[in-house]
Amino acid sequence: MAALLLFWMLSFPAQSDELWVKPGPDGRMHVQLYFFWSLACPHCLEARPFVEAIPAGRPWVSLHDLELTRHPEHARKYREMAAQLNQEAVSVPALLFCGEMHLGWDKAETTGAEILQRLDACQARIVAGGTTPDAQSASRKITVPVLGEMDPQHISLPLLTLAIAALDAFNPCAFFVLLFLLSLLVHQKSKKRMLAIGGIFVFFSGLMYFAFMAAWLNLFQLLGNLVWVTLAAGGLAVFVGIVNIKDFFAFERGLSLSIPESRKPDIYRRARAIISADNLPAMAAATVFLAIAANFYELLCTAGFPMVYTRLLTLSGQSEGMRYLYLTLYNLVYVIPLLLIVLAFVRSMGTRKLTEREGRLLKLLSGTMMLELGALLLLAPELLNNLVVAFGLLGVALDITWAAARMTGEKSA
């Protein structure tokens, strides 16, 4: 056995020997299997029972169970090991063994079968006196049928993106600014000018919102998967949700996340500057400044949604590029209602204004959803990646708002 151990010490680089193969308690050489996973990852939870059972059927496997969310040191180890294989620690679940890196999980019959096959092949090389792949030839494999090399792990993330962005889009502060601007423009009787100015406002509103969300995302990526960060985000979301729900019952009384009355004159002044501009370029420039200023006020209404969503992105295990693609999708959905308002005004040349009742209902809808998201971030963040839960959260928020709309409608009648 001593001769065999000496042979392996000569066959492997010291670092590879330390990582991938070690003598076990039974005196045999054991393959080291590193399982990196997260409590916030549903595919990790699906894979875990299968992975934990591997040593029972293959006693020459030593399993290292490394959860990332509650153990920042495991996240550091994941990044270090991936770097040694010339790879990036971009997602979970991740299985590292014998100089190979496997990402994602489909099911036991596909991903699981391939993992076992690769483990057996590694063990066969050990018995035959071969070596494990080095960092240059190490493979990073994502075994997902149909999708190929895409990591499919959070099936409900696209749905959550659409749902949260859609709720965020019904932003009473943004509606107030845009409707006021368009009500001034309508007096110029120029549909082309209304369309141009409204389109510029919507575009730069979306661009500013994207920049704001990217800042949140970068902050959360810097802080990593620390538990207290998720708890802080959840606590703030609950607080914002409660304040917005309060605004439904006591609109703009006490603490409120709305455009302060003291700030509205500044918005009026900027909007009138657009109307008084002599030419279209000057109007466009004034519109850009109004959109930038308005976005700071809009954040008062729904700042919690970008914070909660970007925190979910950092917990999702997506690559950095995919995170920004999701941010782009979010902001495209976010500007759709604003764009529809512009088109409706251009078509009708109307002077529609957001009523107090409508503003209160929007507050109730966003507040209810925010409260639900915050509570789950505090209690069970992994449930936010569940398709049924995502539908359920949206359904509850819509049902409550619909019931409130009927009640307030009957009272006003």
In the predicted model, what is the mean pLDDT of residues 181-200?
A: 69
pTM: 0.46
Average pLDDT, rounded, for the chain: 72
Question: 97 versus 204: which is more confidently predicted?
Answer: 97
Q: pLDDT band for position 6 (50/70/90)?
A: very low
- pLDDT at residue 219 is higher than 50: yes
Alpha carbons 117 and 205: distance in angstroms, whole number: 52
Q: Are 85 and 99 in contact (CB under 8 A)?
A: yes
- Average pLDDT rounded to a whole number, residues 193-199: 78
Q: Where in the chain is the domain with CATH 3.40.30.10?
A: 2-142
Q: Of all residues in the chain, what percent carry a pLDDT higher than 70?
A: 59
Torsion of CA 352, 240, 222, 67, to 10 degrees: -120
Do 159 and 387 contact (CB within 8 A), yes or no? yes
Q: Are 298 and 171 contacting, i.e. CB atoms less than 8 angstroms apart?
A: yes
65 pLDDT higher than 90: yes
Query: Residue range 47-55: average pLDDT?
Result: 93
**pLDDT score recorded for residue 183:** 60
pLDDT computed for residue 137 by the predictor:
40
- pLDDT of 63 reads 93
- Domain 2-142, CATH homologous superfamily name and number: Glutaredoxin (3.40.30.10)
Which residue in this structure is represented by tokens 């990591």?
151
- Pairing status of strand 61-67 against strand 29-37: parallel
Give the whole-angstrom CA distance, residue 81 versus residue 60: 21
**How do residues 172-181 score in pLDDT, each as one tens digit?**
666 656 665 6
**Whole-angstrom Cα distance, residue 141 to residue 138?**
10
- CA dihedral 250→244→233→39, nearest 10 degrees, is 120
27 versus 93: which is more confidently predicted? 93
Asked if 361 and 234 touch (Cβ cutoff 8 Å), the reply is no
pLDDT of residue 390 exceeding 90, the answer is: no
